[in-house]
Structure 1
Amino acid sequence: MSVLPQSFDDSKPIYIQVRERLEDMIVKGQLEEGEQAPSTTQLSKFYKINHITVGKGVNQLVDEGVLFKKRGIGMFVSDGAKEKLLENRKKTFVAEYIHPLLVEAEKLGITKEELSNMLKQEKGSE
């Protein structure tokens, strides 16, 4: 679990940040489909937070089918979890970034071509 940052910020509830960190591990391939995920006990000790807080974030992933539980063994990454997470994140990306970008571009009179060139220029400057 050393790939996870240990600190949290105040921007959102801790259980959501725990959930997002597990999602990140799946999306980045650090946790593969079928692989055992860290237990709530391991996560609560690692982050030094209440196991109920960790459980709330983990249980959301179980409810969504990203993780599944094997009784007495632990939690595992579901088949198709990475694709499901990528699809959800792309939808969120459009709603949170692309749509507001297009609205602001329209207010500023930026054409599609100008916007495309700006994106290409920014991507190239990395």
Structure 2
Amino acid sequence: MSITWNDSTPIYRQLRDRVVAMILDGVLKQGDPLPSVRQVAGDFQINPITVSKAYQELVDENLVEKRRGLGMYVTEGARAALLESERERFLREEWPALHARLARLGLDLAELMRAPRQEEGR
């Protein structure tokens, strides 16, 4: 897990978002353990309380579960739940502005489908 911290968002939130991205990308799968609080705190030179707060948010969202004496593990259905909530959030928060910009630029679906994709340029 590599992270470049930014000053505009609390570190615990950035850490939580990174774990979410890893679940969505399939890097962390159902049943996989998360690195220990101590390991993450040491690796990134951050306070263990910050890591615990990020992990607790993931527990509160039912994305990971605490297993007493064993650590934190990705829950069953975490990726599916994240996909659903992220799709809903995209359509509610990001799509309206994107749609308006596309209309303003006069771009249609055919042009968008012909546009080079980022992964093709790599």
TM-score, length basis structure 2: 0.84
Q: Aligned letter for 1:119?
A: L
Q: Aligned letter for 2:108?
A: L
**How many residues are aligned here?**
119
CA distance in 2, matches of 1:83, 1:104: 30
Matched, 1:26 2:19: no
1:88 to 85, 90, 100: 85
Instruction: Note the C-alpha offset of 1:123.
Output: 4.5
Q: Please, what is the CA RMSD of the aligned residues?
A: 2.0
Kept after mapping to 2: 8 A contact 1:7/1:47: no
CA distance in 2, matches of 1:49, 1:62: 20
Provide structure 2 residue ranges, at least 5 long, that are not aligned to the other structure.
Answer: none
Instruction: Note the C-alpha offset of 1:109.
Output: 7.5
TM-score, length basis structure 1: 0.81
Q: Following superposition, which runs of at least 4 residues in structure 1 exceed 6 angstroms of deviation?
A: none
Superposed CA deviations along residues 8-52 of structure 1, whole A, max 9, x for unmatched, are 112311111100111122122221101211121111111110111
Aligned residues with identical type, % of pairs: 35
Matched, 1:53 2:74: no
Kept after mapping to 2: 8 A contact 1:68/1:75: yes
Provide structure 1 residue ranges, at least 5 long, that are not aligned to the other structure.
Answer: none
Matched, 1:120 2:117: no
Change (3 A) 1:25 1:124: closer
